[in-house]
Amino acid sequence: MKTDFSILDVSGETCPIPVLRLKKILKTTSAGDKVKLIATDPNTKTDVQRFCQNGKSTLLEYSELAGVYSFLILKV
């Protein structure tokens, strides 16, 4: 199954590594590209929301299931 986004799995990593790795991958993508971030650190929820407020990316979707946090982020 083909997806229309890149997947960045940072499960097991703790703050600030998930957002730093997200920032790094977004630097290599073009406007309009999407990245799905998968994390297990609860602090990631707040960190990603803050990161997306900088105006260079938009949080499209967020979900949590059994301690796994999933974010779909659009680079603008």
- Rounded distance between C-alpha atoms, residue 20 and residue 22, angstroms: 5
Q: Is 15 a catalytic residue?
A: yes
Cβ count near 27 (within 10 Å): 9
Sheet with 57-65, side-by-side order of all strands: 6-9, 34-39, 68-75, 57-65
Q: Which residue is catalytic, options 9, 15, 17, 43?
A: 15
Helix (H) or strand (E) holding 59, with range, is strand 57-65
Positions annotated as catalytic residues are: 15
